[in-house]
Amino acid sequence: MNKLLFENIRQSLESIRGHFLRTVLTVMIIAFGIMALVGILTAIDSIKYYLNQNFAMMGANTFTIRNRTLRIHIGNDSSRPKYYERISFDQAMTFKENFNFPAYTSVYIWGTGIATAKYKSEKTDPNVGVVGTDENYMVTSGFELAKGRNFSDTEIQYGNHVVILGSQIANKLFKANEDPIGKVISIGPGKYRVIGVMKEKGSGIGFAGDRRCVVPITNVRQYFPRPNMNYSVNVMAIKAEDLDAAIGEATGLFRIIRNVPVTEEDTFSMVKSDSIAEMLIDFLKYIRIGATLIGLITLLGAAIGLMNIMLVSVTERTREIGIRKAIGANRISIRNQFLIESVVIAQLGGIVGIVLGIGIGNLLSLIIGSAFIVPWAWIILGVVLCFIVALLSGILPAAKAAKLDPIESLRYE
């Protein structure tokens, strides 16, 4: 049985070599169908990975308490966010002091997003964000120090003019590997001594961590004041599995602080760090459906092309079929020969399409800075689809070849 199978495969390869151009065209039609399917699905997996990495930048065990819900605007689909009464400084600090769950808690506020940082003759564009916060912000926001130190309790209490710079700002202001630690820079109207530089994190989508200056929260209250300042609270559970329990505990405590009656809904929002990513990833399922339909339509065209080639091949090899039957080949062996030939052509197209699809999908990964993705599920799907295409395209020509009369075949010109 194995000998017969290998002989059929050998005959298929011989036939492919004998009709090389026609086979190549068919292989490429199949390859484009698989490439479209695998390529787009690989790109979607790359986007998913990228979203998870960027929107979950604070960690899977982190959530934020703020006075508005999320708003995601995609195309014509937009959900209007809910806005609640602002969170005051006293409310945020009361929560931090009384939240006894095993977690890190940080209170922060945006001072401005259009500041300019200056050092000697160097200065940044007016797009620097100034964040006022406490000693736990670095932990709860997922930032790490590349050099220097964090704020001390005294600096937080008295609002000292000290700053931790994002890596992009440090690189812009300090040239020739000059050490920024201890240097005095201007941020907006004030002078600040640099005590730390954050590790490069990348801007991500909607985040500009590397263009961020972090200063003590009391400093922002004094030097970047505005009416009705609205604060936010980051909470990072020490154990990821305790996140839901931490959210429940935080919700109960903050309802008490905000004097929310038992019968009323929360007047604040609890936003997990990966909530935006989950919403966008959910939207990607529609792109995946569209990509799958495009790939399947292309494969349908490839199946028709493959069937046409196999029918032409049966006609051209009628005398060969007659000779094989005359020397003892039965209908099953003739049918299997053409079916295997169809499978070989389809799988060659599948291999080419999978390689091209992975390459194109990961080209997007390279552009957006995501990881290299090997989509094993889509590779297996591509192989299976090629096999199905081969069977659907080859069964009719194979059956036609198997039914040929040997005497009529030998007389065929």
* 238-281: pLDDT as tens digits: 887 888 899 999 999 999 999 999 888 998 988 886 666 666 66
Residue 206 binned pLDDT confidence (cut-offs 50, 70, 90): very low
CA pair distance 105, 294, nearest whole angstrom: 48
How deeply is 317 buried, as exposed, middle or buried, from its count of CB atoms within 10 A (0-12, 13-18, 19+)?
A: buried
CA pair distance 112, 177, nearest whole angstrom: 28
295: left (phi over 0), alpha (psi -120 to 50) or beta: alpha
Sequence-ordered list of residues with C-beta below 8 angstroms from that of 107, at least 6 positions apart, any chain:
89, 92, 93, 95, 96, 133, 134, 217, 231, 232, 233
Query: Phi first, then psi: what are they for 252, rounded to 5°?
Result: -60, -45
Query: Phi first, then psi: what are they for 105, rounded to 5°?
Result: -125, 135
Average pLDDT over residues 1-26: 71
Which of the pair, 110 or 33, is modelled with greater confidence?
110
Residue 149's pLDDT is 94
Average pLDDT over residues 180-202: 90
107: left (phi over 0), alpha (psi -120 to 50) or beta: beta
CA pair distance 27, 284, nearest whole angstrom: 30
Residue 407 binned pLDDT confidence (cut-offs 50, 70, 90): low
- Strongest mean pLDDT among 156-170, 269-283, 357-371: 156-170
CA pair distance 287, 270, nearest whole angstrom: 29
Mean model confidence pLDDT for the chain: 81
CA pair distance 342, 27, nearest whole angstrom: 10
Q: Kindly tell me if the per-residue pLDDT of 90 is higher than 90.
A: yes
